[in-house]
């Protein structure tokens, strides 16, 4: 595929920890300087499928980043060179509010952004 720029782990809300747990999301706090958005964010807490052991067809759906309640982040992937008037595609992963994460290898946003010339947000 072509080259892309990817920003991983951009906070869209404050982490729902401590007194914010089980409350409506609060806007993310401003950060100072440059935000390090070079590594995938945490996956939200969920059940990990162990029924089929290490069978790749099952484990490929298990989270590939640490599980945490601190998981309210977006990923933005933009093709290079930057397209003019590109469509923005919002990808919401499945999982039935039971499991899933935007960071799964099977959902590699870089492929979609580079091949279809769209900006992918997840």
pLDDT tens track for 45-64: 999 988 888 888 888 999 99
Q: For the chain, give me the number of helices (H) and strands (E)?
A: 2, 4
- What's the domain range around 18? 1-122
Number of structural domains found in the chain: 1
pTM of the predicted model as reported, rounded to 2 decimal places: 0.89
**Would the pLDDT of 1 be above 80?**
no
List strand residue ranges (DSSP E) for the chain, in order: 4-11, 73-79, 88-90, 119-121
Phi, psi of 112 (to 5 degrees): -60, -45
């Amino acid at each position: 595929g072509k080259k892309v720029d990817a920003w991983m782990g951009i906070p869209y809300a404050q982490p729902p920890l401590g007194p914010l747990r089980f409350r409506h999301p609060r806007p993310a706090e401003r950060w100072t300087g440059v935000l390090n958005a070079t590594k995938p964010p945490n996956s939200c807490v969920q059940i990990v499928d162990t029924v089929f052991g290490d069978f790749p067809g099952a484990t490929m759906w298990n989270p590939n980043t640490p599980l945490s309640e601190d998981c309210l982040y977006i990923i933005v992937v933009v093709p290079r060179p930057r397209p003019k008037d590109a469509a923005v595609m919002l990808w919401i992963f499945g999982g039935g509010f039971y499991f899933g994460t935007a960071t799964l290898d099977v959902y590699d946003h870089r492929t979609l952004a580079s091949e279809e010339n769209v900006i992918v947000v997840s």
